[in-house]
């Protein structure tokens, strides 16, 4: 029996095939079968504000009686709570948002009551602005707010306003012009996010200055994360910091009674904050300044967990040296790394080494979030280093690549919650891992277990290895084992399990990220494996309804090409109906383009499930384990590809190219099986599809630091799109899938492209 192993996000290559269709008509001499009545509602869904109307259209086929009965949430004609429906399909939304929301509209044939079709209607509250009128003296401000998200604010039809009619900020703060305009009343308009047809307006009357508002100096300033800036006012004031409504105040920084502003450890969502000075003599009068926050060394400060996998350049017929490592360290916010502990698994042409080492290091972070660093440790008989280039996604997360001429590699850095160490591994956990052995054979596993009082129990795992051709797939196997307490200073522990197939003991070191996640790496000689575990949300039993709506997925896998193990990657989007069906989907596999996909799935009460995806005539089966509603880890049951990955729910809404606007952390990793082309950096998207920035590249030991990158992007309404980048005389095309307005996954789609995966994270 071969030995089992691990992977992080992966998928399977999908192939297109065509399907034939049969012709109509009965066989000669055989009477035609009676035609079946069918009902079709033309519109699948609608989104309305309360009180609005929408005309549905439906058709009835094969019926002598073409009339329909319309219902809303199974109430004939609806009612005032869920909305009403006329006999000809005109839906009128209720006066208040119903619960639950959306509601279901159904059209049923009056000839055959068993034949019907449905559509959904999502009800939003009215888009309003407050206040609806205001009087503002020249140079003074008035804060407006909207009942729903705002795409942009306008003054007299000008986005952001101007010096003649007054200006308005992205969070609704209107500043009157320096002189009274003619006419002296202007219109402030808010445009609803995602629906430019919905607007709300207010009138502002501009009056001469009755009293002097505070003047803040400097009027604008750039402040490094964690740094300070002194603001002053020309009158006695009360200082405050204003950010977006409903957000954590700590993300905007703080200001003292004397006007000394302290920036947060990373730029906030908007990239800047408003410094407000309110007159003590007249609290209706305020002055403002803007602080733009940029990254700094202070952004990387605190306890962090890292995970890294790297590969040296291949030398001759021998396999390249490979390193898998996890650990923790303390970043002092000034460029120093101390208190580090690392577990590494080194596979070399001469054997393997599993060791624990202390680490130190240094780092630097630039204003755009790009940085560099070095981890120092003792291993393999001497002093070792991992030089790296990195980009900060935020204070809590960074992505890095190895950066020396011996090879390449990539990894993650995540803020560690030291307060979680006392709790250890208690609870139910879902895990995923992958890797290679020292003979270059791939393995992957996903599963779950319960941890209590040092015991690993109630464990299940699905496993895939390619130690032979074809490989071995093992499903729904039991696992049991034990784990140690967590080190109070590093969050490190060990755990193991015995598989129910061969009775083999799998041993790992782990580091807690927080109370609900940890990373782990194999400590078994001859195997390099890296994984992540997430505590399962077990507040309710799972079922097919736990997977509903759109899910974005990302996978990495291994397959054999000419007796060599190479990486195979994919990203995609699936739509599930909550009843066991994938009604729509699209998958992009590296170098193979995209394919439409449908399928089925089944979920047990413990969150373990299986799914089958159908792409043309090709069918692929997977096992998966939910960490919560709509998200989890999965693994392929193909004996030809060792593939695993993750999926997460896509944030609701309509996407477009502007959804990717802002400052973006950008990383592409390719060194899964051997030294490859990895890059990390920062790009800015103007919201109109244009990208510019700077990246650091390591192409199997060929280093290209601080390289200009340009590109274009387009995003469709379902969140899928394409990104094209050009850097160092190389152009690459990627398929992109947005999981939200902040996170997107990439996979290269050029013919013959390597098995690489990418990530875009919106910094601000």
Q: Please indicate, yes or no, if residue 352 is contained in any of the structural domains.
A: yes
- CA-nearest of 468, 482, 476, 467 to 445 is 476
- DSSP letter for 488, please: T
Identify the pLDDT of residue 210.
66
Q: What is the pLDDT of residue 76?
A: 96
d(CA 150, CA 127): 9
DSSP, res 651: P
Helix intervals (H) in 551-707: none
Q: Is the domain of 176 the same as that of 80?
A: no
User: How many CA atoms within 13 Å lie on the side-chain side of 335?
Assistant: 6
In a domain, 2, yes or no: no
| Of 646, 678, 655, nearest in space to 736 by CA | 655
Q: Cβ–Cβ contacts within 10 Å for residue 1, how many?
A: 10
- Dist CA 759 CA 748 (whole Å): 11
Q: Does residue 329 share a domain with residue 407?
A: yes
pLDDT at 445: 95
Helix (H), strand (E) counts: the chain: 0, 64
Please check whether residues 115 and 142 belong to one and the same domain. no
Number of CB atoms found within 10 A of residue 90's CB: 13
Residues 473 and 585 in one domain: yes
pLDDT in the model for residue 208:
82
Residue 522 lies in a domain: yes
In 3-state terms, what secondary structure has residue 658? helix
Q: Is 526 exposed, middle or buried (0-12, 13-18, 19+ CB in 10 A)?
A: middle
Residue 69 sits in a domain of what CATH number?
2.60.40
What domain range is 170 assigned to?
A: 129-207
Separation between Cα atoms, residue 707 and residue 240, nearest integer Å: 40
- Which pLDDT belongs to residue 564? 64
Long-range (24+ apart) CB contacts under 8 A made by 246-249 are none
Q: Could you write out the DSSP letters of every residue in 150-208?
A: EEEEEETTEETEETTTEEE-TTSEEE--SS--SSSEEEEEEEETT-TT-EEEEEEEEE-
User: By the 8 A CB rule, do 496 and 480 touch?
Assistant: no
Residue 351 confidence (pLDDT): 63
| 486 and 363 housed in the same domain | no
Return d(Cα 706, Cα 692) in angstroms, integer. Answer: 13
pTM over cut 0.75: no
C-alpha distances in Å from residue 131, one per residue of 139, 146, 173, 282, 737: 19, 9, 12, 21, 39
442 by DSSP, 3-state: which? Answer: strand
Cβ–Cβ < 8 Å for 709, 726: yes
Shared-domain flag, residues 347 and 280 = no
Angle CA(358)–CA(343)–CA(399) in degrees, nearest 5? 95
In a domain, 45, yes or no: no
Q: What is the 3-state secondary structure (H, E, C) of 245-272?
A: CCCCHHHHCEECCCCEEECCCCCCCCCE
Assess whether the previous peptide bond of 455 is cis (omega < 30° from 0): no
Domain end point (choices 76, 107, 124):
124
Closest CA to 3 of 506, 708, 617, 496: 506
For residue 29, is it within any domain? Answer: no
**Is 722 a member of any domain?**
yes
Asked if residue 625 and residue 605 are part of one domain, the reply reads yes
Q: Which residues of the chain have pLDDT under 70?
A: 1-33, 210-211, 244-249, 314-320, 349-351, 380, 469, 560-564, 591
Boundary (domain end) residue, out of 297, 313, 338: 297
CATH code of the domain covering residue 281: 2.60.40.1080
Shared-domain flag, residues 489 and 606: yes
Question: Are 630 and 722 members of one domain?
Answer: no
Phi and psi, residue 659, nearest 5°: -65, -20
Judgement on whether residues 634 and 490 belong to the same structural domain of the protein: yes
Domain count, the chain: 5
Distance CA 696, CA 508 (A): 32
- Which residue, 124, 139, 171, sits at the end of a domain? 124
732 inside domain = yes
pLDDT of residue 242: 85
One domain for residues 274 and 307: no
Whether residue 593 is found in the same domain as residue 726: no
Tokens of 512: 């807690």
In a domain, 19, yes or no: no
Partners of 14 in the beta sheet?
none
Closest of 739, 709, 738 to residue 724, by C-alpha = 709
């Amino acid at each position: 029996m071969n030995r089992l192993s691990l992977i992080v996000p992966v998928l399977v290559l999908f192939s297109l095939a065509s399907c034939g269709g049969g012709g109509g008509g009965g066989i000669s001499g055989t009477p035609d079968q009676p035609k079946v009545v069918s009902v079709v509602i033309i519109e699948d869904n609608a989104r309305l504000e309360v009180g609005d109307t929408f005309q549905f259209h439906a058709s009835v086929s094969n019926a002598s009686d073409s009339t329909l009965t319309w219902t809303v949430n199974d109430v004939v004609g609806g009612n005032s709570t869920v909305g009403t429906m006329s006999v000809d399909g005109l839906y009128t939304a209720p006066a208040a948002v119903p619960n639950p929301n959306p509601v279901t509209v159904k059209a049923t044939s009056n000839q055959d009551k068993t034949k019907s079709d449905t559509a959904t209607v999502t009800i939003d509250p009215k888009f309003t602005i407050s206040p609806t009128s205001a009087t503002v003296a020249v140079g003074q401000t008035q804060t407006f707010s909207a009942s729903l998200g705002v795409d942009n604010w306008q003054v007299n039809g000008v986005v952001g306003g101007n010096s003649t009619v007054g200006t308005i900020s992205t969070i609704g703060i209107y500043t009157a012009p320096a002189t009274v305009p003619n006419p002296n009343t202007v219109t402030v308009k808010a445009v609803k996010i995602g629906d430019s047809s919905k607007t709300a307006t207010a009138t502002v009357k501009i009056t001469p200055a009755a009293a002097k508002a505070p003047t803040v100096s400097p009027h604008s300033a750039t402040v490094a994360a964690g740094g300070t800036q002194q603001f002053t006012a020309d009158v006695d004031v009360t200082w405050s910091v204003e950010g977006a409504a409903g957000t954590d105040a700590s993300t905007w920084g703080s200001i003292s009674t004397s006007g000394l502003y302290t920036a947060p450890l990373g730029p906030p969502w908007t990239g800047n904050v408003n410094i407000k000075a309110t007159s003590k003599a007249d609290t209706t009068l305020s002055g403002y300044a803007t602080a733009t926050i940029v990254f700094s060394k202070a952004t990387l400060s605190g306890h962090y967990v890292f995970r890294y996998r790297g590969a040296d350049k291949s030398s001759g017929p021998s396999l390249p040296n490979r390193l898998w490592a996890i650990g923790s360290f303390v970043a002092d916010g000034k460029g120093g790394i101390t208190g580090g502990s690392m577990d590494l698994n080194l596979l070399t042409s001469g054997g393997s080494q599993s060791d624990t080492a202390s680490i130190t290091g240094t780092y630097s972070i630039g204003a755009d979030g790009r940085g560099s660093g070095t981890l120092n440790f003792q291993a393999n008989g001497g002093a070792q280093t991992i030089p790296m280039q990195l980009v900060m996604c935020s204070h809590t997360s960074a992505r890095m690549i190895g950066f020396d001429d011996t090879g390449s590699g990539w990894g993650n850095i995540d803020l560690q919650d030291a307060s979680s160490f006392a709790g250890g591994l208690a609870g139910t956990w879902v895990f995923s891992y992958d890797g290679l052995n020292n003979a270059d054979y791939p393995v992957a596993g996903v599963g779950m277990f319960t941890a209590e009082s040092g015991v690993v129990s109630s464990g299940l795992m699905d496993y895939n290895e390619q130690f032979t051709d074809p490989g071995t797939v093992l499903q729904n196997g039991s696992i049991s084992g034990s784990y140690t307490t967590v080190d109070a200073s590093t969050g490190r522990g060990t755990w193991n399990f015995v598989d129910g197939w061969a009775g083999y003991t799998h041993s790992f070191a782990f580091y807690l990220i927080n109370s609900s996640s940890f990373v782990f790496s194999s400590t078994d000689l001859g195997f390099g494996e890296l994984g992540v575990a997430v505590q399962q949300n077990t507040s309710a039993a799972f079922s097919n309804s736990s997977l509903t709506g759109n899910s974005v997925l990302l996978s990495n896998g291994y397959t054999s090409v000419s007796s060599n193990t190479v990486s195979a990657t994919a990203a995609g989007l699936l739509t599930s109906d909550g009843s066991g069906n994938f009604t729509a989907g699209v998958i992009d596999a590296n170098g193979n383009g995209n394919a439409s996909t449908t399928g089925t799935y089944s979920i047990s009460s413990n969150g373990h499930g299986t799914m089958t995806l159908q792409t043309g005539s090709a069918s692929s089966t997977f096992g998966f384990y939910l960490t919560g509603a709509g998200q989890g880890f999965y693994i392929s049951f193909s004996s030809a590809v060792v593939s695993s990955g993750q999926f997460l729910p896509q944030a609701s809404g309509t996407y477009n190219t502007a959804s990717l606007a802002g400052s973006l952390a950008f990383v592409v990793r390719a060194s899964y099986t051997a030294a490859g082309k990895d890059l990390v950096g920062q790009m800015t998207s103007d919201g109109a599809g244009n990208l510019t920035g700077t990246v650091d590249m390591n192409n199997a030991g060929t280093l290209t630091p601080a390289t200009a990158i340009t590109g274009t992007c387009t995003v469709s309404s379902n969140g899928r799109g394409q990104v094209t980048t050009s850097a160092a005389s190389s152009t690459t095309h990627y398929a992109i899938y947005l999981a939200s307005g902040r996170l997107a996954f990439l996979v290269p789609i050029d013919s013959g492209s390597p098995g690489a995966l990418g990530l875009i994270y919106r910094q601000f």
